[in-house]
Amino acid sequence: MSEHLIEASKFLSYVLRHEPEAIGITLDREGWADIELLIAAASTAGKWLDRELIATVVVTSDKKRFAFSDDGLRIRAVQGHSTASVDIDFVAQVPPEFLYHGTATRFLESIQSSGLVPGSRKYVHLSENEETALSVGSRYGKPVALKVSAGVMQERGFKFYRAENGVWLTLNVPAGFVVD
């Protein structure tokens, strides 16, 4: 991905996941932003976007972070929101027996005592394979993939959701469900 696409992707992540008000836009409850308003607001904020660039970011994103509405007029981040105005109505699903969470070894002590918590986000993010989790964890330091007993959690009443890009979401993972 070119530097220009990376910069555009980071900008879209910032405004569509965390700070839409930084450029004066509002996301609806499901996280959707009108593309034309997004382009105009970005321009006012000194960032150049157009439909073609946005479409290229959406299509080439290795993590499939963004989605277009069915009518092609709106865009949203599919998960990872920290803004209070967004509360995507995910449908609960039965997860695989085990899921994985990528983190850095420096967080292990806290996780052993408090479990996995979403921090500033709405959900804990989990993946179906260890490799993806290690890749995510490498962003924060020396990576480790934690194995989560998702099937047992679900049997005990915890809800799991699957975002459009395949990331599994849950509100928290108590320490007892993080297994060796």
Q: Where are the alpha helices (DSSP H) in the chain?
A: 3-13, 35-44, 51-60, 108-114, 130-137, 150-155
Does the domain made of 99-179 have the CATH classification 3.20.170.30? yes
pLDDT tens, residue by residue, 38-66: 999 999 999 999 999 999 999 998 789 99
Q: Where are the alpha helices (DSSP H) in 14-90?
A: 35-44, 51-60
Work out whether strand 143-148 and strand 99-104 pair parallel, antiparallel, or are unpaired. Answer: antiparallel
* Beta carbons within 8 Å of 162's beta carbon, 6+ residues apart: 90, 93, 95, 168, 169
Q: What is the band of 121 on the pLDDT scale with cuts at 50, 70, 90?
A: confident
For the chain, what is the mean pLDDT?
94
Whether 70 and 76 have beta carbons less than 8 Å apart is answered as no
Q: What is the band of 139 on the pLDDT scale with cuts at 50, 70, 90?
A: confident
Whether 20 and 82 have beta carbons less than 8 Å apart is answered as no
Could you check whether 3-77 and 99-179 share the same CATH topology? no
Q: In this structure, which topology does domain 3-77 adopt according to CATH? A: Arc Repressor Mutant, subunit A (1.10.10)
pLDDT tens, residue by residue, 21-39: 999 999 999 999 999 999 9
* Beta carbons within 8 Å of 105's beta carbon, 6+ residues apart: 141, 142, 143, 144
pTM here is 0.81
For the chain, domain boundaries: 3-77, 99-179
Task: Tell me whether residue 89 is exposed, middle or buried, using C-beta atoms within 10 angstroms of its C-beta: 0 to 12, 13 to 18, 19 or more.
Answer: exposed
Q: Which amino acid appears at position 177 of this protein?
A: F
